[in-house]
Structure 1
Amino acid sequence: MEENYTLLRKHIEEIIALTDEEWIFVSQFFKYKKLKKHQFLVQKDEAVPAEFWIISGLTKAYAIDSNGKEHILQFALEEYWTTDFNAFQNQIPATIFIDCIEDSEFFSLRLEDLNMLCAEVPKMSNFFRIKSHYGYIALQQRILSLLTETAEERYNNLIKKLPKLIQRVPKKMLAAYLGVTRETLSRLKA
């Protein structure tokens, strides 16, 4: 377990430096959680208890439209943060699902703990501000990609950015993420 907390500290200290005393205080707010493949972190229309930092494993965040079609918003793997951020921040029911594609381990952080943590260790506010900006940038790039790039360009960019993801995600899910059919994805891979 200690090595998981070491990974989290390393992740945080890529952006801010913490004293050992600060780390001891910070670490107490992160709760370990383990889920099996196909278990949910977040379910639509339910409360969102926390945001999650992935220690190991892989999740997908998605919505299902009125025709039953799945639209994947994000794959989150090791060292990613994931939740339904709108529902988490505003304490409203979730609008998306997040489930595990693989057996996964996480640290969870409840909103009240996040707020206390940032109040007591102000540099953690800076950490979360920077991480939020990175997430916003990634979201903008994803939207622009869907709006301006061909399916082939989206696929090639995904291979460049996350080559290991291609091996870990079923073709059907990759197609849903890229906004193409499975047949189109097969042609792109050929």
Structure 2
Amino acid sequence: MTLLANHPERNVLRVQLRQNIVLKELRESEMAALEPYLSVVDCQKGDLLLNQGVHEMEQYFILDGILKRVVTNQEAKEMILRFAAERDIETSYAAWRLKTPTPYSIVCVSKARVAKLPMPQWVAFLESHSQLKQSFEYEVMHLMSEIMGHTITLHLLDAPGRVHRFVRKHGEMFERLPKKQLAAYLNLSPETLSRLKNQGKI
């Protein structure tokens, strides 16, 4: 983990951060005010960024790679709630606001690089930047709505329908995701997903 300001690739990283869905509207002065709080972390496939059930939380801006949000029950059965890639965010902001433990884990699907800062510092920054707070909270609500839509889809659509919906909404990620992970997200077996693809139904 390296502070952004000290990172040897900091100029490239600053460009990537400027493309983030939440940070892209910030002025140069606002970005400069945020930068001292940001650390850059290089992660390997399978690394855990956030553990379900904890109270210490962070805000993540994805620079490279793919992350997943996963909830696990007491029998260790996993459900993938969403995937996120470059220019996107991961967060447990709602849990922080509600003063509840994190309801899910955040795990690296691939090799990844993220910029992060502790949630208390991110919340303090939001409180002094009302326009950013508004757009960030909108994005958090959008993500929650997407997850709800996906969960409903698992019950209402057949296998081809679930796959088609994913391709329509997240086509750029279809070829990048390991098929085992994508199949788990769509509540299919890897064999079913492969068969649908081979039959040209995707």
TM-score (norm 2): 0.80
- Paired residues of 2:61 and 2:88 also in contact (CA < 8 A): yes
| 1:180 aligned residue | 188
Quickly say closer, same or farther: Cα 1:79–1:20, change in 2 above 3 A.
closer
* Unmatched segments (≥5 aa) in structure 2: 1-9
Q: CA deviation at 1:152?
A: 0.8
| 2:141 aligned residue | 133
- Paired residues of 2:93 and 2:119 also in contact (CA < 8 A): no
- Paired residues of 1:50 and 1:88 also in contact (CA < 8 A): no
Shifted more, 47-56 versus 64-73: the winner is 64-73
Q: Secondary structure at the match of 1:168?
A: coil
Counterparts of 1:129 and 1:148, CA distance in 2: 29
Q: CA deviation at 1:105?
A: 0.7
| 2:14 aligned residue | 5
Q: Secondary structure at the match of 1:41?
A: strand
| 2:108 aligned residue | 100
Counterparts of 2:183 and 2:153, CA distance in 1: 14
* Unmatched segments (≥5 aa) in structure 1: none
Counterparts of 1:182 and 1:57, CA distance in 2: 22
| 1:61 aligned residue | 69
Shifted more, 102-111 versus 84-93: the winner is 84-93
Matched, 1:73 2:81: yes
Aligned AA (1:131):
E
| 1:170 aligned residue | 178
Q: CA deviation at 1:91?
A: 4.8
- Paired residues of 1:154 and 1:178 also in contact (CA < 8 A): yes
| 1:114 aligned residue | 122
Matched, 1:143 2:151: yes
Quickly say closer, same or farther: Cα 1:61–1:48, change in 2 above 3 A.
farther
Counterparts of 1:30 and 1:71, CA distance in 2: 30
Counterparts of 2:144 and 2:48, CA distance in 1: 24
Q: Once superposed, what is the RMSD of the aligned Cα atoms?
A: 2.3
Aligned AA (2:14):
Y
- Paired residues of 2:63 and 2:115 also in contact (CA < 8 A): yes
